[in-house]
Amino acid sequence: MRPPTFTMVTGFFSCLVIICLIFPVAAIVAPEVVSAPDQATGTLHIDGSPVGMEIMLDGRVAGQVADSGVLVIDNIPVGLHDVMASFPGYESQEVQVNVPGGLAAEVRIDLATQATGSIDISSTPTNVQIFVDDLYKGITPAVIEVPAGSYIVLLRLSGYQDWSAQVDVNGGETTVLSGTLLPTSGAPVPTASSGPSFMMTMLIIVSGCIFAALCCQKGRR
């Protein structure tokens, strides 16, 4: 067996020195990396009214405000975010919130009641079905209350062509709308009754007189 040379001994001690230097440094740095807090996300606290309003974060549904009046959203990336709140019968509201890293951002949203107006709908002929944005609302004539906005009103009756129109409704105002439906091809068009004929009327009158005379004769006997 050949005895170790000076080069081999030197190389061994060099490796040993390097190992002794690396392990203490790794032991010091590693705990710092593991225990470092995550500063890339934050938390958003949303409170307000009405209870149950839907919250959308950056165009996606994030949840609803609970009975406590607060919705907590965790693990939100740091930075600016768009928050929209909506609820039926209320005006939607959108705000922009800056979420800091490792902290909680708070925002309050109180929705205002949506203004309402009405549509006064009549038609020729009458007793026509009314649909507002594809929802059945009754028959003409009718006054229908709706939130302010734009709507498609459809009138429908068997044997007639559908009639539709777009109408804009302002809060606190009544919009008047009247539609005339045209018969479909080959459908009978109802006409006003001309009433009983002259001969029929005279026959009824004579029959009544005869009946009255007979009753009088029986009374005298």
Instruction: Kindly state whether residues 138 and 91 are assigned to the same domain.
Output: no
Instruction: Kindly state whether residues 52 and 103 are assigned to the same domain.
Output: yes
Domain boundary among 56, 88, 110: 110
What pLDDT does residue 15 have?
A: 57
For residue 143, which of 130, 133, 125, 134 has the smallest C-alpha distance? 130
Does residue 30 surpass a pLDDT of 50? Answer: no
What pLDDT does residue 66 have?
A: 86
* Residue 29 placed within a domain: no
CA distances (Å), 63 to each of 56, 83, 165, 170, 210, in order? 7, 11, 36, 31, 83
Does residue 24 surpass a pLDDT of 60? Answer: no
pLDDT top residue among 191 and 113: 113
**Looking at residue 140, which CATH number applies to its domain?**
2.60.40.1120
Domain extent at residue 126 = 116-180
Query: Rounded distance, CA 88 to CA 174, Å?
Result: 21
Average pLDDT over all residues of the chain? 81
Q: What integer is the mean pLDDT of 83-96?
A: 91
pLDDT top residue among 118 and 211: 118
155 in Cβ contact with 162 (< 8 Å): yes
In terms of pTM, does the model score above 0.75? no
Tokens representing residue 7 in the block: 């080069």
* Residue 202 placed within a domain: no
Instruction: Kindly state whether residues 121 and 99 are assigned to the same domain.
Output: no
User: pLDDT for 49-74, tens place per residue?
Assistant: 999 999 999 999 999 998 888 999 99
Q: In what order do the strands lie in the sheet with 116-124?
A: 142-147, 116-124, 174-180
| Residue 221 per-residue DSSP state | -
Q: Could you check whether the bond before residue 196 is cis, i.e. omega within 30 degrees of 0?
A: no
What is the longest distance spanned by two Cα atoms in the chain?
Answer: 165
Place of tokens 């105002």: 173
| pLDDT-derived band at 91, boundaries 50, 70, 90 | confident
User: pLDDT for 68-77, tens place per residue?
Assistant: 889 999 999 9
* Residue 60 placed within a domain: yes
**Looking at residue 60, which CATH number applies to its domain?**
2.60.40.10
How many residues can be counted in the chain?
Answer: 221
Number of domains within the chain: 2
Tokens representing residue 152 in the block: 């498609």
